[in-house]
Structure 1
Amino acid sequence: MTTLYLLGSAAPPVLEIASAVENAQSRGYDVCLGLTPSAARWLAPELAELERLTGHPVRSEYKMPTADDVWPRGDVALFAPATFNSINSWALGITSSFVVGFAAEAIGKGIPLVAMPCVNSAYAQHRALDRSIAELREMGVAVLYGEGGFVPNQPGERRSGGYPWHLALDAVGVLAGPTL
């Protein structure tokens, strides 16, 4: 079975992460869920259920150097939703959170990576975002942003049709190959 590391940061679609896990599982993935500390705080009441659903601990912090890994080796990773802060930190190599650190290291390990931002149109006007997306793409990350991926919505507005999780999981399938 292909192991998918699903990494999420604190944007509204992270509140739908259980459905994304179930969708990935229906596609044949063994899902391990990692969250930024803020996303973990948002999902605190659901963390036990998410651990039951995935069969793995939900991680939001780096492990101690002497501790064993609690997840199986990852075959492919999806960072979604990826916030403005997470995208920019990742591109700059600022690894103050576990999920950004994993994503940065995964580039060097050759683990296939898909990222789908979740930013509003105000954040999208900041030049750092385009630079960061270009940098990640140059490092081989499949960033789903713009047509065929995530298109920013207006600040404070809910996206009609919801966050396009299916596009992210389709891209994972292309990188990972058949799972079933």
Structure 2
Amino acid sequence: MFDTLSCRSATESSVHVPLAGEAMAAGAISLCSSESGASTARPRRPCAALPKWRLKRVVDHIEAHLGEPITLGDLAAAAKLTRMHFAAQFRVATGLRPHEYLLRRRIDEARRLLLDESLSIVEIALTVGFQTQAHFTTVFGRFVGETPSRWRRAQAAERKPIMAPRRGGERTEILSSCSLS
């Protein structure tokens, strides 16, 4: 059923690689090592972090284009690196993949916009760069733990005016504190 390809090294030890057909023979020959069947792959060098000046360029690009589609290629071009080199260095520098960072930034901006009750949730979703309200709601729920409408209602309840008594029997409105994190 399977053919076997044998490669002999300089020390005459052999490596047997099972093949599913002749089409794989060329690839299997490259698997044979020149020394005792041992792998010649070098250990990976640790990736350096993205330099601060490149990171600033990428963050500035994200801020300037937050409501638009942003690709890995766009971010890599802003950093003047290849996509894969940029992605690896960005992750070392921030601890997040570029896409994860972009989504978090969009959700942070959405939380700020949700405090303005004159904007609809779909308007906010489109403003911060999501293509649909459904995708926005899914991502928002993953990062915040509740839907945008529930989060908005909870924030409104925290900011709701409290009537406090004053001298002379008058009542005045006091806004309760609201923290944005």
TM-score (norm 2): 0.29
Structure with higher Rg: it is 2
Q: Which structure's relative contact order is higher, taking Cα pairs within 8 Å and 6+ residues apart?
A: 1
